Chains A and B, each alone.
Chain A
Amino acid sequence: MGNILLEMKNITKEFPGVKALDNVNLKVEQGEIHALVGENGAGKSTLMNVLSGIYPYGSYTGDIVYNGEVCQFQKIKDSEEKGIVIIHQELALIPYMSIGENMFLGNEQGRKSAIDWDKTYAEADKFLKMVGLTESSRTLIKDIGVGKQQLVEIAKALAKHAKLLILDEPTSSLNETDSKALLDLLLKFKQEGMTSIIISHKLNEVSYVADHITVIRDGSTIETLDKTVDDISEDRIIKGMVGREMTDRFPKRENVKIGDIAMEVKDWTVYHPQFSERKVVDGVSMNVRKGEVVGIAGLMGAGRTELAMSIFGKAYGTNISGQLILNGKEVKLKNIKDAIKHKIAYVTEDRKGNGLVLTNPIKINTTLANLSEICSKHVIDQDKEYQVAEEYRDKLKTKCPTVEQNVGNLSGGNQQKVLLAKWMFANPDVLILDEPTRGIDVGAKYEIYCIINDLVAAGKSVIMISSELPEVLGMSDRIYVMNEGKMVGEMAGEEASQESIMSCILKS
């Protein structure tokens, strides 16, 4: 083994109710490219946030040894001073500022009282050349493509005198040519002695650049593979990523008859609302039957949420084309109200951001999507509203003192139940559940699964979008696999396995 540049020892990080990292160990050699792989939520980003000081020293346990000394970073500035620079998945550039301004944001050149703009742009141009960009640093960020923006991020990191570069999913928004260019750039830096850690879902890329691959699963390090010794084929990596035991975490569904097709989409294509040339959903066809749970698996950003929301009365996207067929009849949904009228419900993945009015009580949230049900002539029957809220509270076993309680004060699991209640009260035939168990504890998850079973037992159709493969496998009668806007696989629930889904995604 070469010189160890960074060692993270027994890192444990807890969030309220969740152990995100459990005794994680990571060793990175000087001058290598080290890949970090794992499923969504395995803890990769958390680990990197610990390293860069986003989670300050003291909020986790364990040691970070960098360049031979133990580090206690309080904030990002501390780690950057040592040359550890992280480039996040979401680009952190300001569109209406120039490349140069962005690169030195928070690190302005010149004196405190007066920024030296000539120096700024000269320096910026120097670093841009290093990453192979020919643009002037006076160009505005919004005028260059995403691929180049990613290179600007790297140039920005170099300007901070990075010795250890951390890239979180650097190619997730890039096309193949740009991705290849970026990876080759990393290899070139390696030649010059730079050390990098790369987090990626794209295992072909990982195999291409990495010297070592550390696999993280459920907040623990599983193994570190060495390029020169181990087999680092994609199948081998996948095995490490998903090799967990399936236990009895899902309630049994018995005697549910699967009936006719309730909803079907054909050749569904959706474009990005702002960048209208970008296809987000690309020629997707799928269906769901009465009494059936259909899972949609895929990585974050695969276009699953966008597919669901575009079906839900064009709640997302522009230039939506394709057919939507409900109970054998083609329909065109003008808006969300129309979708609700046609008995479709979309239960958002972001319950706090898009789902609930946190400052309002449970009862008001419960009835919001179907207020006309408890109204006469636009006047709300508040007794009836109370009854409805109580009924769903009993049915879903929501834990709360009263239904007058503000939703903001409930736990995640109970909030999710209120959100489900809201859409069940809208009385839909097809429910699209987007990440229905995100961020809630195991017990509450089980209860949500039971609710899903009750729904299909009542003849409803459920489409469940989930990034947790065990959940998709445990709950679905049928599974679609989506990647980069396309459906890349369909399999029966009992035939599917984590390996088959992952390889569907990664080999598409």
Chain B
Amino acid sequence: MVSFNLSEVIKKYTMVIALVVIIGIFYVGTNGTILLPQNINNLLSQNAYVFILATGMLLCILTGGNIDLSVGSVVCFIGGIGAVMMSKGMNVWFTVLVMLLVGVAVGAWQAFWVAYVNVPPFIATLAGMYAFRGLSNVVLNGYAVSITNPTYLNVFGGGADCYIPDFFHGNGLNITCMLAGIIGVAIFVIGSLRNRIAASRKGYATTSAVGFYLKLVLISAVILFVTYKLAGYKGIPTSLIWIIIVVLAYHYFTTKTTMGRYLYAVGGNEKATQLSGINTKKVYFFAYTNMGFLTAIAGILTVARAASAQPTYGMFYEMDAIGACFIGGASAYGGTGSVFGAIIGALLMGVINQGMSIMGVDANYQKVVKGLVLLVAVIFDVVSKREKK
């Protein structure tokens, strides 16, 4: 059994600890405003696109530090298509399907050049960044197109009613939301315990009991805290549902499936992966096609939240996603990183943004701080790796 080693824990969860510290700082700096229910709600729904895009970007980065610069433009392009289709009175679900398909097609287009023609991803997606920004303008004809369809807005997190309704009509506290939190915690705790028991029954090495239970309690507490806060506002925003689905699905995908494994292997050592009989071109193709798919989801959520599509939407979204991945511990050389890491990175950026906004820091300085945070996170990563050698 591995003993509970404090320095190991600190190393492993540096960014989580950093997140807690930063929340603490802003809690003091904003006199607690940052943890008000409404602000927590905003933090999650405002950054929905970052969570989704960072997940997709992580998969690209895993293959060798490759990034996708086009996602901001593609978000706008796909959002534009959706808004225009709905403004012409087309069926919501048909529209959503088209948006997703266009996303996959755009992804596959770029993935093809990257994987099979060996165009460097940076260039292939830079081209996409220009082209799809231009096409967004074409689709929207240069104007803002507003979205009024209530079903679309409610389901994808826009407008005033984009919350899971409270079936129990709690007074001041959304009981459905609270219940969901409790059920979520129960599933998480039972699942973790079952895995641990199964593992120790088969005689596998398990992590230390103290660490395990501590982690269990802390994560459960965070879930309950967040759901309690959300319950005190309007309940679970629908965009959060989409975030949770995507994050859990891709966490499973990257840790449990063969394709997920190949993403890490290609980034860790492409030559060795090739010599293990794995088609590495397919892996690249998958990563970028998938990015297109998730970009479509981000596009759907983005225009829903704004209840409109404009040719300028999605600017610098790619940078937010890339930044979140690197802050979350993904290696710029590929091969290491995790979906949860990227989510922590995205949260960190989100908290800093929101905290500074509440404190009234000038928007220009906010950018400076964000840049420095990214730099520090990567310096930390590089230095801690050097120490290991």
* A interface, CB within 8 angstroms of B: 312-313, 315, 335-337, 339-340, 346, 348, 353-360, 364, 368-369, 371-372, 375, 378-380, 382-383, 386-387, 402, 404, 409, 422
Q: A354-B269, A369-B277, A379-B258 are in contact. List 12 more A-B contacts (CB 8 A).
A: A353-B269, A353-B271, A359-B268, A368-B273, A371-B258, A372-B258, A378-B258, A379-B256, A380-B257, A382-B256, A383-B204, A404-B205
What is the total number of residues of chain B having a CB less than 8 Å from a CB of chain A? 28
Query: Which residues of chain A are near B202, meaning CB under 8 Å?
Result: 383, 387
Query: Which residues of chain B are near A336, meaning CB under 8 Å?
Result: 274-277
Query: Which residues of chain A are near B377, meaning CB under 8 Å?
Result: none
Structural contact, A354 and B335, CB atoms closer than 8 A: no
With contact pairs A336-B275, A359-B331 given, residues A378 and B257 touching in the complex (Cβ less than 8 Å): yes
How far is B269's CA from A248's CA once the two chains are assembled, in angstroms? 37
Query: Which residues of chain A are near B258, meaning CB under 8 Å?
Result: 371-372, 375, 378-380
Structural contact, B261 and A380, CB atoms closer than 8 A: yes
Structural contact, B257 and A355, CB atoms closer than 8 A: no
Structural contact, B277 and A358, CB atoms closer than 8 A: no
How many CB-defined contacts (below 8 Å) exist between A and B? Answer: 86
Query: Which residues of chain A are near B264, meaning CB under 8 Å?
Result: 357, 359-360, 364
Structural contact, A357 and B204, CB atoms closer than 8 A: no
Task: Determine if B382 is an interface residue (Cβ-Cβ < 8 Å).
Answer: no
How far is B275's CA from A312's CA once the two chains are assembled, in angstroms? 9
With contact pairs A375-B258, A378-B257, A386-B204 given, residues A359 and B275 touching in the complex (Cβ less than 8 Å): no
Query: Which residues of chain B are near A312, meaning CB under 8 Å?
Result: 275
Closest residue of chain A to B198 (Cβ to Cβ) is A383
Structural contact, A357 and B268, CB atoms closer than 8 A: yes
Select B261's contact among A353, A356, A371, A402, beta carbons within 8 Å: A371
Query: Which residues of chain A are near B335, meaning CB under 8 Å?
Result: 357, 359-360
Task: Determine if B239 is an interface residue (Cβ-Cβ < 8 Å).
Answer: no
Nearest CB in chain A: distance from B173 CB, A: 39
Task: Determine if B124 is an interface residue (Cβ-Cβ < 8 Å).
Answer: no
Task: Determine if B91 is an interface residue (Cβ-Cβ < 8 Å).
Answer: no
Query: Which residues of chain B are near A356, meaning CB under 8 Å?
Result: 269, 272
Query: Which residues of chain A are near B279, meaning CB under 8 Å?
Result: 335, 337
Structural contact, B275 and A315, CB atoms closer than 8 A: yes
How far is B261's CA from A357's CA once the two chains are assembled, in angstroms? 11
Closest residue of chain A to B202 (Cβ to Cβ) is A383
Task: Determine if B310 is an interface residue (Cβ-Cβ < 8 Å).
Answer: no
How far is B204's CA from A402's CA once the two chains are assembled, in angstroms? 10
How far is B265's CA from A422's CA once the two chains are assembled, in angstroms? 14
Query: Which residues of chain A are near B274, meaning CB under 8 Å?
Result: 315, 336
Select A357's contact among B259, B269, B277, beta carbons within 8 Å: B269
Structural contact, B272 and A357, CB atoms closer than 8 A: yes
Select A380's contact among B256, B275, B277, beta carbons within 8 Å: B256
How far is B277's CA from A339's CA once the two chains are assembled, in angstroms? 8
Residue among B198, B199, B257, B275 with max Cβ neighbours from chain A (10 Å):
B275
Task: Determine if B336 is an interface residue (Cβ-Cβ < 8 Å).
Answer: yes
Nearest CB in chain A: distance from B41 CB, A: 35
How far is B2's CA from A355's CA once the two chains are assembled, in angstroms? 29
Nearest CB in chain A: distance from B19 CB, A: 24
29 pairs from A and B in contact (CB 8 Å cutoff): A312-B275, A313-B277, A315-B274, A348-B275, A353-B269, A354-B271, A355-B269, A356-B269, A357-B265, A357-B272, A358-B269, A359-B264, A359-B268, A360-B264, A360-B268, A364-B264, A368-B265, A368-B273, A369-B276, A371-B261, A372-B258, A378-B257, A378-B258, A379-B256, A379-B257, A379-B258, A382-B256, A383-B199, A402-B205
Structural contact, B277 and A337, CB atoms closer than 8 A: yes
With contact pairs A357-B264, A380-B261, A386-B204 given, residues A346 and B275 touching in the complex (Cβ less than 8 Å): yes
Structural contact, B271 and A357, CB atoms closer than 8 A: no
Nearest CB in chain A: distance from B89 CB, A: 41
Query: Which residues of chain B are near A335, meaning CB under 8 Å?
Result: 277, 279
How far is B278's CA from A63's CA once the two chains are assembled, in angstroms? 51
Closest residue of chain A to B265 (Cβ to Cβ) is A357
Contacting A at CB under 8 A, from B254-309, are 256-259, 261, 264-265, 268-269, 271-279
Nearest CB in chain B: distance from A208 CB, A: 39
Query: Which residues of chain B are near A409, meaning CB under 8 Å?
Result: 388
How far is B275's CA from A313's CA once the two chains are assembled, in angstroms? 9
How far is B2's CA from A378's CA once the two chains are assembled, in angstroms? 31
Closest residue of chain B to A419 (Cβ to Cβ) is B272
Closest residue of chain A to B268 (Cβ to Cβ) is A357
How far is B261's CA from A262's CA once the two chains are assembled, in angstroms? 33
Nearest CB in chain A: distance from B202 CB, A: 6
The 10 closest A-B pairs by CB, nearest first: A357-B268, A337-B277, A369-B276, A336-B277, A340-B277, A359-B335, A354-B271, A359-B268, A357-B269, A368-B276
Nearest CB in chain B: distance from A419 CB, A: 9
Query: Which residues of chain A are near B265, meaning CB under 8 Å?
Result: 357, 360, 364, 368
Nearest CB in chain B: distance from A360 CB, A: 5
Nearest CB in chain B: distance from A391 CB, A: 13
Query: Which residues of chain B are near A378, meaning CB under 8 Å?
Result: 257-259
Structural contact, A355 and B272, CB atoms closer than 8 A: yes
How far is B201's CA from A383's CA once the two chains are assembled, in angstroms? 11
Residue among B202, B274, B276 with max Cβ neighbours from chain A (10 Å):
B276
Query: Which residues of chain B are near A404, meaning CB under 8 Å?
Result: 205
Contacting A at CB under 8 A, from B181-228, are 198-199, 202, 204-205
Structural contact, A354 and B205, CB atoms closer than 8 A: no
Query: Which residues of chain A are near B198, meaning CB under 8 Å?
Result: 383
Structural contact, B261 and A364, CB atoms closer than 8 A: yes
Nearest CB in chain B: distance from A115 CB, A: 30
Structural contact, A357 and B275, CB atoms closer than 8 A: no
Residue among A339, A378, A409 with max Cβ neighbours from chain B (10 Å):
A378
Query: Which residues of chain B are near A369, meaning CB under 8 Å?
Result: 276-277
Query: Which residues of chain A are near B276, meaning CB under 8 Å?
Result: 336, 340, 368-369, 422
Query: Which residues of chain A are near B256, meaning CB under 8 Å?
Result: 379-380, 382
How far is B264's CA from A368's CA once the two chains are assembled, in angstroms? 11
Nearest CB in chain A: distance from B279 CB, A: 7
Nearest CB in chain A: distance from B374 CB, A: 22
Query: Which residues of chain B are near A355, meaning CB under 8 Å?
Result: 269, 272, 275
